[in-house]
Amino acid sequence: MIDLHFFVEIIPTLLSGLPLTLQLAGLSIAIGFALALLLALAQQGNHRMLVWPIRAFVAVFRGTPLLVQIFLIYYGLGQFRPTLQAVGLWWVFREPYWCAIIALSLNTAAYGSEILRGAIQGVPRGLVEAASAFGMTRIQTLRLVVLPLALRQAIPSYSNEIVLMVKGTSLASIVTLMEVTGIAQGLISQTYRAVEVFVAAGAIYLTINFAIISALNALETWLTPYRVRA
């Protein structure tokens, strides 16, 4: 029933999509994290003009499917070429690669900012007060006290988000990008052996995500040396 030879044959083909999958995931997670941090910090100030638009952005990107976001950004904005050309942004939206990166980054930034906002709020108030009693400036407090603690606190939730993003890159094939899932679909159209191909592709994603979770677990343990392992 299970044809091992077939798996051995298709895995190298599937792996040829791995660099693109990792690139899409890596770049959008990095950009998304930077944006998420900015959005989370911007909401600390409680300026209404700043907080409301951010809340709206977060609500929209968390409240709609990533698939819709990708379609809207790629095919939807493709309709507005003259306008995008006029503002000099067409070169970005022309490329499926950048459209996918934009959609994935904005999506993860929305989720990430909520995780980081919660983590920043979770830093005990006494620590912030102690820092200012030491004569630290607000920036110093943020950089030396609040962020290190908040980021460590956020690792478990954020690693979930990273796994969701790696999974999310599988949607890039709908905008013509040939990452692992796109290649899997191509293989199926050549072999018509859908089940075997999807199992093999699934195993690749599972391996990536397993590696990510293990690495982040190790990072968390390393950052909390005082915590005795249960």
Question: Is 168 within 8 Å of 66 (Cβ atoms)?
Answer: yes
**Would you say 31 and 224 are in contact if contact means Cβ atoms under 8 Å apart?**
no
Site residues for another protein, 131-190, by CB under 8 A, read 163, 167-171, 174, 176, 178, 181-182, 184-186, 188-190
To the nearest whole angstrom, how small is the minimum distance from the Cβ of residue 197 to another protein?
A: 9
Report DSSP state, residue 228.
P
Q: Which listed range, 37-45, 126-134, 199-207, 222-230, lies at the site for another protein (CB under 8 A)? A: 199-207
One-letter amino acid of 16: S
Considering only residues 34, 199, 215, 219, which one is a binding residue for another protein as defined by CB under 8 A?
A: 199
Report which of 196, 209, 205 is spatially closest to residue 10, judged by C-alpha positions: 196
3-state SS, 105-166, equals: HHHHHHHHHHHHHHHHHCCCHHHHHHHHHCCCCHHHHHHHHHHHHHHHHHHHHHHHHHHHHH
Q: Is residue 60 close enough to count as binding another protein by CB under 8 A?
A: yes
Angle between helices 96-121 and 147-168 (to 10 degrees): 150
Determine, following the binding rule CB under 8 A, whether residue 42 of this chain makes contact with another protein. no
**Tokens describing residue 176:** 């013509």
Q: How far is the CB of 52 from another protein (least distance, A)?
A: 16
The answer to whether 201 contacts another protein (rule: CB under 8 A) is: yes
Q: Using the rule CB under 8 A, is 57 a contact of another protein?
A: no
* Shortest Cβ 25–another protein spacing (Å): 11
- The distance of closest approach from Cβ of residue 56 to another protein in the complex, given in angstroms and rounded to an integer, is 11
Amino acid at 120: I
Distance in Å, CB of 128 to another protein, minimum: 21
Least distance in Å: CB of 34 to another protein? 24
Binding span for another protein by CB under 8 A among 5-13, 31-39, 41-49, 89-97: 89-97
- Is the separation of the CB atoms in 108 and 62 below 8 Å? no
Q: How many residues form the binding site for another protein (CB under 8 A)?
A: 50
- Of 109, 124, 100, the C-alpha closest to 174 is 100
Residues 90-129 that bind another protein (CB under 8 A): 94-96
DSSP 76: I
Binding site for another protein (CB under 8 A): 59-60, 62-69, 71-72, 75-81, 94-96, 163, 167-171, 174, 176, 178, 181-182, 184-186, 188-190, 192, 194-195, 198-199, 201-202, 205-206, 209-210
